[in-house]
Chain A
């Protein structure tokens, strides 16, 4: 299993892998297809527990796109906080059908209200991944 340092390096070197955590399978399929059409590697998780299993494995995830409300032991906000604490090089986009009551948590780089414009979301993913590569080159 890759060490956390090795994974952070992989993220910074521009490995373009997006982890999509979304419990609505048709929404998950739609966004995963749209991201794969852009040449990205997409890992799909049906809930935050699955996403956590992926993040704790050797997969080098450059960006987490997660819905907030999902069934299971944790929601997208807790998942985003985990990434913020343990995988700081990994960007996070939150989605929800409800506007957040407070300002965007520090763990998130962007928020999309559902139903979202897929083209706009894909554009934001690509922009954040470009930032990942820039962050890596500056180190």
Chain B
């Protein structure tokens, strides 16, 4: 969960933990990359598009695609902008979330993404 707003990050992370997921929190794309470079097992990166610092959520998505290609990415932000710019970075129909987050929508997307990935691995 890559999100610069601590209260938003806390809220969604705790909701997902209550749903049984292990959630790793990153306050910045730099932190996210440190975690990913450390080899921690990650299935999905949920990242805000607008992040402070040199790299935004799009940059992080590209980094994940290049360096940890097995990890799915969900981008969150202004839907129109994210959809048009992120089509090749995320799985179609599953990769973009609108903010403010609706916890149930986040949960549904994660479940669909993991199910979709499991189906692809079976094929």
Which residues does chain A contribute within 8 Å of B6, judged by CB atoms?
Answer: 45-46, 50, 53-54
A67 in contact (CB, < 8 A): no
Interface of B (DSSP majority class): helix
Interface size of A by CB at 8 A reads 15
A25 near B7 with CB under 8 A, answer: no
Within 43-100 of A, Cβ neighbours of B (below 8 Å) are at 43-47, 50, 53-54, 57, 59
A46 near B27 with CB under 8 A, answer: yes
A25 near B34 with CB under 8 A, answer: yes
Query: What is the distance, in angstroms, from B88's C-beta to the closest C-beta of chain A?
Result: 28
Which residues does chain A contribute within 8 Å of B13, judged by CB atoms?
Answer: 44
B24 in contact (CB, < 8 A): yes
B26 near A43 with CB under 8 A, answer: no
List the interface of chain A (C-beta within 8 A of B).
25-26, 29, 36, 41, 43-47, 50, 53-54, 57, 59
